[in-house]
Amino acid sequence: MKIALGAFARSGIESEFGSSLPEAVHAALCHYCGKLAAGRPPLMPPAFLVGGGSPTEETLDLAVEPEIEATLAREAQARGLPLDRLAGHTVLVYLAELDFIGATSRAA
């Protein structure tokens, strides 16, 4: 699965989790899908995600479980977003929620 990560999202993951970028992004995707499954919709993606990418954006190719990808694909379609942009949004939501509850594990 392709995930569009801007510099801000990547920097947030790296500062909170060190070099474990794929694992942290996977956790963000699972967390977002878990909220959807529980009937607790996460923060809506901002409207600007519908447009083109950022010049500092990179694409991470990550293997995820088929049910995770299917859930995110349905959500992306419902929101009118490309899947890679919604996936990138999950990272920012995850970081914000971890910061809010003070549960991040800062990198050494």
pLDDT over threshold 60, residue 107: no
Digit-coded pLDDT (tens) for 56-102: 578 889 999 999 999 999 999 998 889 998 999 999 999 998 888 88
The pLDDT assigned to 7 comes to 86
Q: Is 32 exposed, middle or buried (0-12, 13-18, 19+ CB in 10 A)?
A: buried
pLDDT bin (cut points 50, 70, 90) of residue 15 is confident
The pLDDT assigned to 57 comes to 73
- Give the span between the Cα atoms of 51 and 41, in whole angstroms: 22
Digit-coded pLDDT (tens) for 23-58: 999 999 999 999 999 999 888 777 776 665 554 578
